[in-house]
Amino acid sequence: MFKAVIGAEKLKEAIESVSTLVEEAKLKLSPEGFSVRAVDPANVAMVSLDLARDAFDSFEATDGELGIDLTKLNGIMEMADKGDGIELDLDETAHKLILRMRGLSYTMSLLDPSSIRKEPKVPSLDLPAHIVIRGEDLKRAVKAAEKVSDYMSIGVRGEVFFMEAEGDTDNVQLEMTKDQLVELKPGEAKSLFSLDYLTDISRIAGKTPEVSIDVGRDYPLKIRFKIADGHGDVSYMLAPRVESE
Amino acid sequence: MFKAVIGAEKLKEAIESVSTLVEEAKLKLSPEGFSVRAVDPANVAMVSLDLARDAFDSFEATDGELGIDLTKLNGIMEMADKGDGIELDLDETAHKLILRMRGLSYTMSLLDPSSIRKEPKVPSLDLPAHIVIRGEDLKRAVKAAEKVSDYMSIGVRGEVFFMEAEGDTDNVQLEMTKDQLVELKPGEAKSLFSLDYLTDISRIAGKTPEVSIDVGRDYPLKIRFKIADGHGDVSYMLAPRVESE
Amino acid sequence: MFKAVIGAEKLKEAIESVSTLVEEAKLKLSPEGFSVRAVDPANVAMVSLDLARDAFDSFEATDGELGIDLTKLNGIMEMADKGDGIELDLDETAHKLILRMRGLSYTMSLLDPSSIRKEPKVPSLDLPAHIVIRGEDLKRAVKAAEKVSDYMSIGVRGEVFFMEAEGDTDNVQLEMTKDQLVELKPGEAKSLFSLDYLTDISRIAGKTPEVSIDVGRDYPLKIRFKIADGHGDVSYMLAPRVESE
């Protein structure tokens, strides 16, 4: 059983945070809200989304699992205006999710959850350095790095957070000291990441005021931020690329 | 003889309402204004445009007929700004129409009217149901229907106007009661139409506040609205698609 | 030695005025500012840019020459916001130019100046007619001419400045009298120019309030305007196309 109403903007944010990595996902329902865990097909990045019932105008759900075509759901969301409320209604017998917005109703077939890639186990990592950066600064550095390379180093040197990309002839560097960041917990850290993934993630993260980054030495990166007025948590884990070539 | 001045925005609206269906058309001139009747190449949709002399800042014309390349005329209109007045001047001996806007003059060759597809006879239909809907609601329903199908049903059920599209797995439905519409005259009606045409028509109609729709049971649809501050009438007739497959 | 700070917008204007014709250029440095002279690969158009030290927030340079990849420099400029200041810093030993903007630094390899096409000699021409036109009027006429032809005549007839393009069936004409122009010095003049070049040039010139044009009879055209709040001069010379075919 699932019946809820939510602002279009909040649902959009939530869906996009996952659809940037995968096209289909299992949405886990509980009386407390919903959550999604997914890995991208190449097993490089993992996303974890939790949307609490407080993000909704109204929310009623029993434990369950819905197989969702995220690409399609994004398309449906385009029909809603920013201020619209979206009503979600599960038709369990027909295996359909009905979305209603200002008189319009869209009946979407659900996917068989067992046909969707299994959810990953989220590893618990103890990463030495912790940074909180403004979303737009992250996005800007990633965009700049794309000009010269397909990879980007992220790390902390002394009291300075850095993001660097080296091309064949040119290179790009962003250095931020504690006072230019929201927060900095120093620690030895430098890892190399694929810009393909960082671009997708920073497009989503770039819209939020504060993005938390945990990074280590040749270790996965953790990027976390809030959505839906603080009632949603999005977190990505991104595998490093070993530099030795 | 034809010599007139009109606001760029009004002429643009008028030309686009016809060019959405055909690339060339015969423009019928009379001392009272001009009119165009045209059918699309597939004989599915028909447009009828009447622009009264009151839509013009000045207007002088004798009875006549001009063969117009609408695609080209649209291109010329792009050179005008919203507030510009367009001066139209017919050079009968050279078979050219001169368009002037802020110092710039464009001399456009006319087409031989006899080379253009004959104008259709507009059939008079007695359609049982009549609806007046806001243009943007029509456009929204058409856009939503495109997500799932190439066809859309339009009709009235009891006191409810509906537009519906059914896809292989998903479907879309808009239902509007009398109080959500500008006007509703109930009557048994449901016909299926090609979204190719409805998309083009609703892109034009979607800009006007009120669109009048007449619909019957497996009968052509009539869509009408005003342009040019009420001095122009545009009406489309769209053939239904028989549902039995 | 070269070390300077300049508003992003001013540097962008300056670079684009040259990159519209060539992809690489030699930037001549002196204590008074910098300058660029370049001809396009087809030898049809020539650009001459002078940016005075007053255009900069701070400027220090000794005489020198930098080989610049303008396409790349344009890409770097995209990372700056309108209000940003750009810091330019030459690393002479490494042959690199470092660009800094809001914490981000981009290290760009310089090209070997000797690998870049030689600078042209700017011929001194005595052109009979002189016009000062608003940038947007020039741009508008060029855009209109593109609708009908690949070439455009520019000239003066009596006290009227004209730009004309003739197509197979249609033609476009802009005529401006002294009072519609900023300035007009009459003189017998009419030359034909390629719209390929005029389009590129007028896209840049169209943003400035006043553009000065010197034109003769089957002679090159001179187009000049100010950039960077009057501290920069851009001038183009465009070869005519002989009409007799």
The CATH number of residue B166's host domain is 3.70.10.10
Percentage of chain B beyond pLDDT 70 is: 99
In this structure, is residue A120 part of a structural domain? Answer: no
B170 contacts A108? CB cut-off 8 A: yes
Average the pLDDT over C49-68 and give the result. Answer: 97
One domain, residues B31 and B107 = yes
Average the pLDDT over B63-84 and give the result. Answer: 94
One domain, residues B52 and B98 = yes
Tokens of C89: 């810093």
Helices (H) and strands (E) in chain A, counts: 4, 18
Tokens of B9: 């925005």
One domain, residues B15 and B79 = yes
Chosen from C71, C87, C89, C107 to mutate, greatest number of chain A CBs within 10 A: C107
Per the prediction, chain B carries an average pLDDT of 95
Beta carbons within 8 Å of C61's beta carbon, 6+ residues apart: C1, C2, C3, C4, C29, C30, C31, C33, C34
In this structure, is residue C38 part of a structural domain? Answer: yes
One domain, residues C108 and C160 = no
Distance CA(A210)–CA(B69), nearest Å, equals: 56
In this structure, is residue B124 part of a structural domain? Answer: no
Give the pLDDT means over successive 10-residue stretches in chain A (245 positions).
97 96 97 96 95 98 97 94 94 96 94 90 90 96 96 96 96 95 96 97 96 96 96 97 65
In this structure, is residue C134 part of a structural domain? Answer: yes
One domain, residues C169 and C224 = yes
Q: Would you tell me which residues 138-157 of chain A have a C-beta closer than 8 angstroms to some C-beta of chain C?
A: 140-141, 143-144, 147-148
A79 contacts B170? CB cut-off 8 A: no
Distance CA(A17)–CA(C137), nearest Å, equals: 47
Band of residue C244 on the pLDDT scale cut at 50, 70, 90: low
C109 contacts A144? CB cut-off 8 A: no
Torsion angle of alpha carbons B186, B191, B194, B200, nearest 10°?
A: -20
Distance CA(A191)–CA(B224), nearest Å, equals: 63
Amino acid at B220: P
C-alpha radius of gyration, chain A, whole number: 19
Q: Tell me the DSSP string of A48-77.
A: EEEEEGGGSSEEEE-SEEEEEEHHHHHHHH
Q: Among residues C115, C149, C173, which one ends one of the domains? A: C115
pLDDT tens-digit series, residues C204-229 = 999 999 999 999 999 999 999 999 99
Band of residue B243 on the pLDDT scale cut at 50, 70, 90: low
pLDDT tens-digit series, residues C97-109 = 999 998 899 999 9
**What pLDDT score was predicted for residue A192?**
97
**What pLDDT score was predicted for residue A125?**
87
CB of B211 within 8 A of CB of B140? Answer: no
Tokens of C18: 């040259």
One domain, residues A156 and A103 = no
One domain, residues B17 and B95 = yes
One domain, residues C65 and C138 = no
- Helix (H) or strand (E) holding A145, with range, is helix A135-146
Contact status of C91 with chain B (Cβ, < 8 Å): no
Note the maximum CA span of chain B.
Answer: 61
Number of domains in chain C: 2
One domain, residues C160 and C73 = no
User: Does residue B245 sit in helix, strand or coil?
Assistant: coil
**What pLDDT score was predicted for residue C245?**
47
In this structure, is residue C49 part of a structural domain? Answer: yes
Note the maximum CA span of chain A.
Answer: 61
One domain, residues A94 and A171 = no
One domain, residues B44 and B135 = no
Percentage of chain C beyond pLDDT 70 is: 99
Query: The sheet that has A33-39: what strands, in order across it?
Result: A64-69, A24-30, A33-39, A45-52, A232-238, A221-227, A210-215, A129-134, A183-185
Band of residue C119 on the pLDDT scale cut at 50, 70, 90: confident
Contact status of B112 with chain C (Cβ, < 8 Å): no
Query: What residues make up the domain containing B157?
Result: 129-238
In this structure, is residue C225 part of a structural domain? Answer: yes
B102 contact residues in C (CB cutoff 8 A): 140
A106 contact residues in B (CB cutoff 8 A): 144, 147-148, 170-173
Q: Would you tell me which residues 224-243 of chain C have a C-beta closer than 8 angstroms to some C-beta of chain A?
A: none
Q: Which chains sit next to C, with 3 or more Cβ pairs under 8 A?
A: A, B
Beta carbons within 8 Å of C5's beta carbon, 6+ residues apart: C56, C57, C58, C59, C85, C86, C87, C88
In this structure, is residue B243 part of a structural domain? Answer: no
Tokens of C136: 């947007």
Q: Among residues C115, C143, C163, which one ends one of the domains? A: C115
Contact status of B106 with chain C (Cβ, < 8 Å): yes
C-alpha radius of gyration, chain C, whole number: 19
**What pLDDT score was predicted for residue B125?**
87
CATH number assigned to the domain comprising residue A80 = 3.10.150.10
Average the pLDDT over B14-43 and give the result. Answer: 96
* Dihedral pair phi/psi, residue C184, rounded to 5°: -145, 120
Q: Among residues A52, A80, A114, which one ends one of the domains? A: A114
Contact status of A107 with chain B (Cβ, < 8 Å): yes
One domain, residues A170 and A93 = no
Distance CA(A140)–CA(A198), nearest Å, equals: 11
In this structure, is residue B121 part of a structural domain? Answer: no
pLDDT tens-digit series, residues B90-112 = 999 999 999 999 889 999 999 99
